[in-house]
Amino acid sequence: MLNSYPQALTIAGSDSDGSAGMQADLHTFFARNVYGASVITACVAGNSYGIHASVPMPTDFIDQEFADLADDYHIRAAKTGMLADSELIEDVVKNYQAADFGPLVVDPVIMTKHGNQLLEESAFNTLRTKLIPLATVLTPNFYEVQKIAEMTINSDADMIAAAQKMQAMGAKNVVAKGSHADTNQQAVRDYVLLESGESFWLSEPYHETDRVNGTGDSLSACITAELAKGTPMKTAIAIAKQFVNTAIGSPIEVGHKFGPINHWAAQQREY
Ligand SMILES: Nc1ncnc2c1ncn2[C@@H]1O[C@H](COP(=O)(O)OP(=O)(O)O)[C@@H](O)[C@H]1O
Ligand SMILES: Cc1ncc(COP(=O)(O)OP(=O)(O)O)c(N)n1
C-alpha cells in the first residue's frame, strides 16, 4: 500500500541559495507533510549577501510545466511567488485558469526585504487587474501593501483601509503583513481580512535576528499546504503565522550574512 500526501504547487522563481523563492516553498510543503510540485518562472542567482542576477523562463516552457502537471497530478492548492514581468503574470493567469489546481495563494513578490526588485514596475497594473482577482488569499508584505493599495501606511486604520482596498480588487482573503522596522518592537502583527468580513490582527513575538530570508515565501507556502489538506482558512493562516515564527526563532548557520529560517524547528512542533 503506497502512502498518500496532499499535493500542492508553487509557481515561483528559483533562488539559488535555497533560502527563499520556490526552495523555501518546497521546504515548507515538506515540513507540513504535503507533496510539493513546482512551476519555475525565473531563476535568481544569489546568496546571503543578496541577489546578483535573474532570468525569466520562456512562456512556452512555463506552459509545458503546467500542462505536464495538469495531465498527471492532483494539485489541491497552489501559490504564486516571483513572476518577474507582465508577460509572465498573464501567462500564469492563463494557465491557472485552464487548470483545476484548487485555491490560489498569491504572494505578490515585488521586492525582497533587502531591496532587490523582483517584479518590473511596468507589471504592477497587470498584478492588480489580472492576478489579484484570482487570489483566494493575498499575502503582501508591508512594502507591497503600500504599492498595491497605492497609499502610505502610518496607522492601523491605514492598514485596514488598504486591506479593504485589496479585497475590493478581488482578493477573497487578505493577510497584510505588518512593518518590522521598529527596532524596539516586542511583537510583529499582520492584519487579516477574511472573505466572511471577519477581521483580526495576528500577533507573534518579534525575534531579533538577521536570519529572515524567505519568511514571506514560507508564510504563503504554509497557508497553501494547509489549504491543500482542507484546513479551514482562518486556521490555515494562524498555523502559518506560528510556523514561520518558530522557524525564525531557531536560527541556523547557513551563509555569512542574511540567512534562511529554520524549517526543521518548525516541522518538529505541533500547531
Ligand atoms: N524578526 C521577525 N520576528 C518575528 N516574526 C517575523 C520577523 N520578520 C518577519 N516576521 C514574520 O514573518 C512573516 C513574513 O513577513 P515579512 O518578513 O514581512 O514578509 P516578506 O518576506 O514577504 O517581506 C510575517 O508574519 C512577519 O510578521
Ligand atoms: C526567487 C525568489 N522569490 C522570492 C524571493 C523573496 O522572498 P520573500 O520571502 O518574499 O522575501 P524575503 O523574506 O526573502 O525578503 C526571493 N528572494 N527570491
Comparing CA positions, the residue from 10, 14, 11 lying closest to residue 54 is: 14
Task: Identify the band that residue 23 occupies on the pLDDT scale cut at 50, 70 and 90.
Answer: very high
Is the reported ipTM for this assembly greater than 0.85? Answer: yes
Find the mean pLDDT for residues 205-234. 96
**What's the pLDDT score for residue 79?**
99
pLDDT tens-digit readout, 158-204: 999 999 999 999 999 999 999 987 767 789 999 999 999 999 999 99
Q: What is the pLDDT of residue 1?
A: 83
pLDDT band at 69 (very low <50, low <70, confident <90, very high): very high
For residue 183, the model assigns a pLDDT of 64
Predicted pLDDT at 180:
83
| Atom of ligand 1 minimally distant from the CA of 241 | 25
Question: Can you give the pLDDT at residue 191?
Answer: 98
Query: What's the pLDDT at 5?
Result: 96
Per-residue model confidence (pLDDT) at position 83 = 98
Taking the centre of ligand 1 as the mean of its atom positions, its distance from the CA of residue 60, in whole angstroms, is 34
Q: Give the ligand at the shortest distance from the Cα of 42.
A: 2
State the pLDDT at residue 270: 80
166: Cβ contacts below 8 Å, ≥ 6 apart? 132, 138, 140, 145, 148, 149, 174, 176
The best mutation among 213, 219, 243, 261 to test binding of ligand 2, ranked by most ligand atoms within 8 Å of the C-beta, falls on 213
Res 114: pLDDT: 82
Chain mean pLDDT for the chain: 96
Q: How confident is the model at residue 103 (pLDDT cuts 50, 70, 90)?
A: very high
Question: What is the structure's pLDDT at 181?
Answer: 79
Distance from C-alpha of 2 to C-alpha of 267, rounded to nearest angstrom: 23
Residues with CB under 6 A from ligand 1: 113, 141-142, 177, 180, 188, 190, 204, 206-207, 209, 212, 215-216, 219, 241, 244-245, 248
DSSP string over 220-237 = HHHHHHHHHHT--HHHHH
Segment 125-153, tens digit of pLDDT = 999 999 999 999 999 999 999 999 999 99
Query: What does the pLDDT read at residue 269?
Result: 82
